[in-house]
A and B are shown apart, each in its own frame.
Chain A
């Protein structure tokens, strides 16, 4: 690791006292410990098995200062915001460079028992709840980049639903990177706690510009029979290094369904950890990766079946053009005694260019009997016979390619729970198919 990059990470410790929670000893200590754990561990390298498909060299070569909070005052920013957020949800919090932007947020008012507010405010009002969960499941010793986030995040999204609250309207956390001419680091954070019997839908979107390192950490705790639909939209710019870590803990009967679309970024990693801690917990992941130009996507999923009669299903589709790379590393671990586990995993890739490539690594680690696990992977090009069929009906080649590519991706998109999100993704995916080299937001 480059000396100035190392020194840069070490020096960032000085930022901690000024960040939120500075007056709460438990949070200050959490940040300090996390920072120390990160420095001890360092930036993961592709030499490590868990990070085999990661391309994080830029972090070790160039110091990335933590980005400053900036306002969204200009007309261009406002126009950009409208373009980006075009009406997913009435309840929306916007974070710019990791800091809450109240001027463009509309968190809406909610029924008693629902808390949807910035983490910094929540830490002041509900300190015990926040300290009980924050940084616990994404433990600093095991998750180095999440540790860096724990140490340095400016703010974040906090969603708490007390039992029996099942709000219909979705919540949206929009994380924008407003880069400048220097490499910057941004640490978006989200903490979601649904108590017994609660249900919610949450969108987390990531967009922006600049040569930024965006390092989101998301912790989810679901109580008994709680249901979370979590939508992750990654549409970063083509210079962005994006590393999201998600950890979900599920109590008995809880359901967590993650819908992830990873469209942008230079290198984008989505790391999903799910712990099915009690009976009848169920986890589903539907993920779509769209790669073009020299983009690299890395989807890493670690599903732990720790109790009897738990279920998981992972379905990934990747569309790779240009000289892009995709990787899916999915591991299902079934603990001793977790009989009646049912786990499925599938990964299908559409390779549109001879220079694009997909790596798939399914792993099943099974320590129980009476377990049903299945996995499958396919790779293919657009079917020439289908292309000819469409062309023979008058549809030109670019449109025929778009139709067939969309049809492939739509199987995942159509499972996203909100019409507004599906519409948004259809438009974005069409744009990417037509112009595979353009990621992020048009200038």
Chain B
């Protein structure tokens, strides 16, 4: 895919570390155009989740060098809620349980916060309920989950489905899905993948962060990047995932310990 327009996301030579800790990202550069699906793969500890966390604004990471431009803005200067308001969404690897706040209330507050930030009128309770029910059907979610506390007592699969439901409601420009496939059985994986595929559009970009190639059987990416030691050591098309499956990450790490 080639385009002459400004990319949706431009990451340039990004360095980051855990606050008071060792460096984890050591010079990441990545360009995502509108409508593209990128997969970021790599072994445990390679920096995949750190990259997702830095992009979403996790405070426990400190950026030490580099820049990130998102839809024309300096992403790193924005608070997490401002990033969300501009259309960035992080699907959590470990969705947080929030006792005492119902899923429906949480989602309506989130959607209306984002609408307000974009000078759009809030949806009233009835309008929102219609939207929520339609999206829940798409995710094959039992409506009872909507009135339960956010993620409380949800199974692993239900939590991940709930993440994609949130994405379907908030309709981000860029969704970063951090190990959305981890802990899912094959049926749950198919539902989650179908949900993501349904949300693919020329206006929406997706970054899939995953350890395993099996997710990519269900959500076919345009580009694959392999991370090792905080750097992208290989980039390629769909074939790269199959190669990885054959040879394992050891092959990349052995050959890719220097920048590709």
Contacts and interface: CB of A to CB of B under 8 A. Distances in A.
B58 A388 contact: yes
Interface in A192-245: none
B131 to A, nearest CB: 15
Contacts of A410: 100
Interface string B76-97: 0001110111000110100110
A388 B80 contact: yes
A393 interface: yes
A397 interface: yes
Contacts of A393: 81, 84, 106-107, 110, 113-114, 166, 170
Contacts, number: 75
B84 A386 contact: no
B134 interface: no
B98 A407 contact: yes
A421 B83 CA distance: 38
B56 interface: yes
A394 B85 contact: yes
Identify which of A392, A399, A404 gathers the most chain B CB atoms within 10 Å of its CB.
A392
A385 B59 CA distance: 10
Contact of A403 (B56, B57, B101, B170): B101
B110 A395 contact: yes
A389 B113 contact: no
- Assign chain B's interface to a size class: 20 to 34
Interface string A372-412: 00000000000111101111111111011001101110110
A283 to B, nearest CB: 25
A395 B81 contact: yes
Main secondary structure of the interface of B (DSSP, over half): helix
Identify which of A386, A395, A403, A408 gathers the most chain B CB atoms within 10 Å of its CB.
A395
Main secondary structure of the interface of A (DSSP, over half): helix
A407 B90 CA distance: 23
A284 B51 CA distance: 50
B80 A391 contact: yes
Contacts of B100: 406-408, 410-411
B109 A403 contact: yes
B99 interface: yes
B59 A395 contact: no
A385 B81 contact: no
Nearest to B90: A392
Interface of A: 383-386, 388-397, 399-400, 403-404, 406-408, 410-411
19 contacts: A384-B59, A386-B96, A389-B95, A392-B56, A392-B80, A392-B92, A393-B114, A393-B166, A394-B81, A394-B84, A394-B85, A394-B111, A394-B114, A394-B170, A395-B113, A403-B109, A404-B98, A406-B100, A407-B101
Interface of B: 56-59, 79-81, 83-85, 89-90, 92, 95-96, 98-101, 106-107, 109-111, 113-114, 117, 166, 170
List 5 A-B pairs, minimum CB-CB distance, nearest first. Answer: A407-B100, A394-B84, A393-B110, A394-B114, A391-B80
